[in-house]
């Protein structure tokens, strides 16, 4: 009788824990190289030189005193786990972003860099 109970419990646990796990990764790639930033001199570098080095921007935004060129690439990592009664889904999207600010004469005034794409991780919702 005890043996049957053990078998029943093991069967129940294995049934409840049976499931499926899926992991996936999406990448929106933009081939800019942040080490090239050393070549830029705010107050001197022109917008055309920036596009020669970094390629076409993902987005151009008109500002009150010039323009901003935005370069962006993203990494999304997703995890889905199906159990019998429970389903867990988790996705994290992080991006690398480079924003150049130009004045009305298209001269570089400032730039900002964020490198977070590598921080995207797989996991379960907390």
Tell me which residues touch other proteins (CB under 8 A).
15, 61-65, 68, 70, 84-95, 97-99, 101, 109-116, 119, 125-126
Q: Using only C-alpha atoms, what is the Rg of the chain?
A: 25
Shortest gap between Cβ of 50 and other proteins (angstroms)?
14
Residue 14 vs 48, nearer CB to other proteins:
14
Residue 34 vs 46, nearer CB to other proteins:
34
| b/e code 24-42 from CB counts within 10 Å (16+ = b) | eeeeeebebeeeeeeeeee
The residues near 103 (Cβ < 8 Å, ≥ 6 apart) are 65, 66, 109
Shortest gap between Cβ of 112 and other proteins (angstroms)?
4
Shortest gap between Cβ of 49 and other proteins (angstroms)?
19
Shortest gap between Cβ of 68 and other proteins (angstroms)?
5
In angstroms, the CA 65 to CA 71 distance is: 20
Residue 46 vs 104, nearer CB to other proteins:
104
Among 87, 89, 109, 85, which Cα is nearest to 99's? Answer: 109
């Amino acid at each position: 009788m005890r043996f049957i109970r053990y078998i029943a419990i093991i069967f129940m646990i294995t049934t409840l824990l049976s499931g499926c796990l899926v992991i996936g990764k999406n990448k929106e790639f933009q081939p800019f190289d942040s080490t090239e930033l050393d070549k830029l001199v705010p107050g001197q570098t022109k917008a055309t030189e920036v596009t020669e080095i970094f390629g076409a921007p993902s987005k151009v935004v008109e500002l009150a005193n010039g323009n901003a060129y935005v370069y962006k690439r993203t990494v999304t990592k997703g995890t889905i786990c199906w159990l019998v009664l429970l389903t867990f889904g988790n996705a994290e999207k992080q991006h690398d972003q480079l924003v150049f600010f130009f004045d009305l004469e298209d001269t570089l005034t400032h730039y900002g860099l964020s490198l977070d794409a590598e921080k995207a991780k797989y996991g379960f919702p907390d």
